[in-house]
Structure 1
Amino acid sequence: MKQNEVEWLEYQKVMIDVIERSGLDEKIFYDLRGNHDNFGVPEFGGEYDFYQKYSVNARLGRRGNVHSVTLHKNGRKHLFVGFDSTTEVGLRGPTNLFGHPTDQLLKAVDSELSQWDSDFTESPVTKIAFGHFPLSFSSVSDSGRSLKDFFLKHSLAAYLCGHLHARFGENLKRHHYSDRHFLGNYYQLNICRDSLVSDADGQNCSMVYKPAEEFWEWEMESTKTIILPTFPVDSRFMQRSSSYRDYICHSLGTSSSYEMIRALVFSATRIRSVSLKIYDSNPGKLYLVLDSEMKKEYYNETRGDLYTAQWNWKAFTDPSPVRYWIQIEAVDVTGSSSFSELRPFSINGLTAKVDWKWKEFIFMGCQWVKLFLLDGLIWVLAELCRKKIIWSATLLYLLHLTFFPWFSGHIFTAPGHLGYMTHRGWDIRISKESIKKAYIGSPDVMVIVLPHLCFVILPSILLMATLAAEKSAYHVYCLSLSGKKLDDYDETGEHGDGTSTNRRRNIWERRIIRKFLLLLCLAILWRHWKSCRSLVKAYDMNPLVHSFTYCFTIPLLLAGAAYKTS
């Protein structure tokens, strides 16, 4: 995977056109860099660092990886902090998959998120962070700290990210909270924990309330949303542990935010009317219980129009977080209708449980950095039934993968940069001074390491062990058929009676297991060949020179095992 300068020129042209046609101040644009904007960059600001040439940030002369915007109006404070966690040295894909926040970056993020903390007693601050990489694909710093630690410390309202996009699932959202459980560092089974515990029952609503250590992480989808309901919020993806406290305190008369349904509407054409519908799902199907027009608030100065409607919120109090559902419809002057997503809400502040699909769990729920860097991770080795040559060769291959480079290749767009990939990252020399950098692209290299371990090495070891075991079982089976010796057979291998023929047929059928195992070996070799072919193309390698051990050891081991167990 490489960058194309022609595409960057087109991007610059399009962004200039968007800024001019929108009439907006160019300073409010912030193009956040992702891994695709950093492919094959040997040095920051160099010839192949196109982001530093053609991005909006480059034109505005912005420096640094952290930027923030603060809003303060009518007693409400909002803080938006964006950061770039890509590496200064960008590898070619596929080993350019993770964000790499440094200790310096984390310190800067912490500093920006600390704004207005001293004024928290006067008015709370809504904090929102945004970056390219989800936390499941963000590594830890050299000191072992992570972005999640600082997000929990500051009790973010939300962390908005990209990278995965909607093709990996529709529910790429995750509720993070301070979890002391050991396994919580490695994975989370559901989008949200089973229950959001609140201490609102014993909380004096007149006291200053310290937010819980929690935040929501949302993968921003590619679809365009023009209707954004802001209250009531989605009980699946937006409730916080403080929501129940807000409900209790409102019941005591300390808040008026529950009296109006609110929604922001963004549209290129003039909106003629906005209406809302609330459905009750208790009968087993959606039953319309409220149909009301929404009124535009003309004092609103945002680019989105704010619409509100009064309602009897107490009528929708219910112990189920998914009983009531809301949808908002906007009709423009052309008669075209647009709808918000039909979503459940809970006035009580209860959270609906939504399970991930397998793909969503794998990409959003697993903390891959933690799983990949488990101390003392040992590959599962199978006994090869006293096949000493195969066993010794397999052990030597595993030792080679542990302590020596897997292969070498050209990892930058610029010629002449030959790197060596190990299971811990790339070992390279860059610039004319031949500065050596070790373990670049960790844990990004897992996109090569894990498939090779899980889909090539481990299955190969298991298959070789099974082939050896099948040969041993076949030998025992032959001995158990009869007490006859080899000289009981004639020179052509024929027996003199039908019983012997049936036994020979049974033995032949028994070897069907071996044939099936050999077919599995071919499947592994096909998978390994595809991987080698893609790496040869990605890093301009000669397989005989740059990756002989990686490409040919497994085929030789499988061929040797097949021969020894024949």
Structure 2
Amino acid sequence: MSIGIRYPANLFGHPTDKRIEAVNSELQYWSNHSNVPITKVVFGHYPMSFTTSSEKGQRYESIFAKQSTSAYLCGHLHAKVSKQLWRFHEMSAPTQEQKSSFWEWELGDWKESRLMRILAIDGGAISFMDHTLKQAFQTSILITYPTDSRSMNTLESINWSLRNDINVLVFSNQVIHNVSARVFDSHNEFKIVEEIPLQLVAVPSVHKPLFHAKWNAENYRSPSPTRYWLQVFVQDSQGVKTSSERRPFSVEGKVSIQSHPWLNYLIFEVQWEDMYRVLLWSNLAFIIALLFAPKLLYYFIKKSLRYQRWTVSVMSSPIQQRKAYFWLVWFLMEGARSRTIWFSLLIHVIWLIEMPWFWGHVTSEKGEIAQMYLSGWSIPSLGEDLTWNKLSNPDVLVITLPFLYLVVAPVIVIIYSLFAEKAFACLRHSRRTEGTVGPTKSNVESGYLLPGALMSLANLSDKKILSIVIKLCGGWTRRVLLMLCCILAVIHLKLSSRLMSAYGTKPVALSPPVTWMPLLLLSATAYCTMLNID
């Protein structure tokens, strides 16, 4: 972006249509102006999972596949989050009979992990190895052909031809005396099939690191891309032996798509631009339903005696298959009893949807104060004539999703739970003082018919179940809910402190919806639900 947003809302790459067309033209130029086959490798900062679509909905994946790009190398995630992530992109176009594909390889980082990647192109085949330079440089072995069938091969094509050679790059501070390759058969307990000595190739290089050997590739045809495995062994002039990683290969260029751990899949293969919309609006839909469902239920219960008789019949039935649903209805009704708290929650949610969440120094420590909305940052100096979305969208998901999922939705649930717990405590007290469970004046005046109906029909329903429910929802329940309030407050304060450290303490601390509104709502509810019973 032309204006860089400060961490943590700098998660995505935002290509423009102009930038995508420029990359497409560059790749197309080499296809049109070369008499020899061209191997195309594209470097970029952001993975495709953290790259947004352009203004017209264009994406780099279709460009890379259309232009026969072999690989896209990216970073951004750092080795603390991930290490050696790769993904095979396969795309089909209506005008093409065969599917186009390319590899995406994440590099890790040099800044903290000191990861260095050595990449080689051998007759169009691309291979790489990663080396950590935190310690003294050790002998490194890169097999340039045949390539690893798990992460470097391309799908078998009509023009594919077998290559009867093995090529290896050996980087070492010592003189290399002996290099050999061994082929293993995974279908026969990884027994050695063949051992092949490699010879140094005379190339115009100071260190002359290329070793080569011929073999009969026909011997290793297989329908399985992971049947045969290759490993290279090196001995230097000091007698030190080094071996490469054993890896599968396919002389026919077949690829084996490996299953990745769920965290790698979540980070590298989920399109987070689309996932953000799903997570955001599903959460908002849940919150809105949680707010308005009690009001709709109250309307039907108040207006429809038939619905009330249905609830009475459910409670009086000895076998109640819908009892969980019945208690959920009662929980929602009691949770929204306080109009003041309910309207405060509604105003809070409307504010989060339409109004700025907080203010902060968006670009630098002493930069201008900007506003962060649900749709991104709004910077005053840019004016109001913007025809595109606010900056840093969907980058703000690192702010909005934790706040909505860990603070806003739990606050509403705990507030409802505190009011429901108070209602249970009132039922218990009424039963003890009157000796029977019947409707009291306070229940009738409350306007909620369902709790009164519950009390009047207690003798008809299962008294043991009701007694157990009343006991379980006694004093310890409130203590648990208050403990959850404290835990929620700690989570909220941690999220707020992160925003303060990123965008300034004062502007964030003075922002009502994010900083102090959840704490006020929890405190007010805890006070309102205190029982004043002698």
**TM-score > 0.5, shorter chain as reference:** yes
Report the equivalent of 1:7.
none
Moved more, 419-428 or 312-321: 312-321
SS at match of 1:160: strand
Match of 2:398 among 429, 447, 453: 447
Asked whether 1:153 is paired with 2:153, we answer no
Cα distance, 1:276 vs structure 2: 1.6
Q: Percent identity?
A: 33
Question: What amino acid does structure 1 have at the position aligned with 2:76?
Answer: H
Please tell me whether residue 271 in structure 1 is matched to residue 176 in structure 2: yes
Q: Paired residue for 1:167?
A: 80
Corresponding letter in the other structure for 1:463: I
1:220 pairs with one of 94, 98, 107: 107
Deviation for aligned residue 1:213? 1.8
Q: What SS is found at the alignment partner of 2:4?
A: coil
Q: After superposition, give the CA deviation of every residue in 1:458-485 in whole Å (9 maximum; x if it has no partner).
A: 2223333344444455556677886157
Q: Per the alignment, do residues 175 and 483 of structure 1 end up closer, same or farther by CA in structure 2, a change over 3 Å counting?
A: same
For residues 477 and 73 of structure 2, what CA distance do their matches in structure 1 show? Answer: 52
> Per-residue CA shift, 1:73-115, capped at 9, x if unaligned?
xxxxxxxxxxxxxx22112111112111112211111111112
What letter is aligned with 2:359?
Answer: S
CA distance in 2, matches of 1:132, 1:111: 20
Q: 2:190 aligns with which of 286, 310, 313?
A: 286
Among candidates 380, 386, 410, match of residue 361 of structure 2:
410
SS of 2:356's partner is: coil
Match of 1:25 in 2: none
The one-letter amino acid of 2:409's match is L
TM-superposed CA distance for 1:216, in Å, is: 0.6
Listed one character per residue, the Cα deviations across residues 10-60 of structure 1 (whole Å, up to 9, x for unaligned) are: xxxxxxxxxxxxxxxxxxxxxxxxxxxxxxxxxxxxxxxxxxxxxxxxxxx
Q: Structure 1 residues 163, 480: CA separation in 2 closer, same or farther (over 3 Å shift)?
A: same
Residues 420 and 346 of structure 1: is their aligned pair in 2 closer, same or farther, counting only changes over 3 Å?
same
Q: CA deviation at 1:179?
A: 6.1
The letter for the 1-side match of 2:524 is G
- AA aligned opposite 1:149: S
Shift of 1:425: 1.4
Q: How does 1:34-183 map to 2 (within 5 A)?
A: 87-118=1-32, 123-178=36-91
Q: How many Å separate the matches in 1 of 2:345 and 2:378?
A: 25
Alpha-carbon distance in 2 for matches of 1:106, 1:219:
20
1:419 corresponds in structure 2 to 370
Query: Cα distance, 1:346 vs. partner?
Result: 2.5
- CA gap of 1:484–1:179, structure 2 versus 1, over 3 A, is same
Which residue of the other structure, out of 120, 142, 164, is the alignment partner of 1:259? 164
Structure number with higher helix proportion: 2
SS in 2 for 1:325: strand
SS of the equivalent of 2:40 reads strand
Residue 506 of structure 2 corresponds to residue 510 of structure 1: no
CA distance in 2 between counterparts of 1:453 and 1:435 reads 30
Q: Deviations over 1:350-402 (max 9, x none)?
A: 33232221221221011111222459925112254333333322221111111
Alignment partner of 1:339 is 2:302: no
Q: Aligned partners of 1:245, 1:434: CA distance in 2, in Å?
A: 55
Q: What is aligned with 1:26?
A: none
Aligned twin of 1:353: 257
**Is the contact between residue 183 and residue 228 of structure 2 (CA under 8 Å) also seen in structure 1?**
yes
Q: Which amino acid counterpart does residue 31 of structure 2 have in structure 1?
A: D
Q: Please state how far the C-alpha of 1:564 moved relative to its aligned partner.
A: 4.0
Partner of 2:325: none
Partner SS, residue 80 of structure 2: helix
Say if 1:171 and 1:356, in contact at 8 Å, map to a contact too. no
Checking the alignment, whether the CA contact within 8 Å between 1:541 and 1:547 is kept in structure 2 is no
Structure 2: distance between partners of 1:125 and 1:525: 58
- CA–CA distance in structure 2, aligned partners of residues 397 and 527 of structure 1: 18
Structure 1 position 128, deviation (Å): 0.9
Provide structure 1 residue ranges, at least 5 long, that are not aligned to the other structure.
1-86, 181-208, 251-256, 488-502
TM-aligned CA deviation for residue 262 of structure 1: 1.7
Alignment of 1:307-346 (within 5 A): 307-346=211-250
Q: Report if aligned partners of 1:152, 1:214 keep a CA contact under 8 Å in 2.
A: yes
**Deviation (angstroms), 1:449:** 1.2
| Alpha-carbon contact 2:17-2:55 (below 8 Å) kept | yes
1:376-525 map, 5 Å: 377-378=281-282, 379=284, 380-381=286-287, 382=290, 383=293, 384-385=332-333, 386-387=336-337, 388-413=339-364, 415-430=366-381, 439-472=390-423, 483=436, 507-511=470-474, 512-525=476-489
More off after superposition, 529-538 vs 294-303: 294-303
Equivalent in the alignment of 1:490: none
- Tell me the matched-pair count: 428
Deviations 1:234-270 (A, max 9, x none): 12112322x2545xx53xxxxxx52111222333443
- Paired with 1:359 and 1:563, the residues of 2 have a C-alpha distance of 42
Residues 168, 415 of structure 1: alpha-carbon distance in 2 compared, 3 angstrom cutoff: closer
Following the alignment from structure 2 to structure 1, what is the Cα–Cα distance between the partners of residues 352 and 214?
A: 66
SS in 2 for 1:298: coil
Q: Identify if the C-alpha distance between structure 1 residues 452 and 337 changes in structure 2 by more than 3 Å, giving closer, same or farther.
A: farther
Per the alignment, in what secondary structure is the counterpart of residue 177 of structure 1?
Answer: strand
**8 Å CA contact 1:409, 1:546 repeated in 2:** no
Mapped partners of 2:213, 2:348: distance in 1: 69
Larger radius of gyration, structure 1 or 2? 2
Deviates more, 1:466-475 or 1:93-102: 466-475
Checking the alignment, whether the CA contact within 8 Å between 1:264 and 1:306 is kept in structure 2 is yes
Measured in 1, the distance between the counterparts of 2:357 and 2:46 equals: 27
What is the rounded CA distance, in whole Å, between the counterparts of 2:468 and 2:421 in structure 1?
Answer: 17
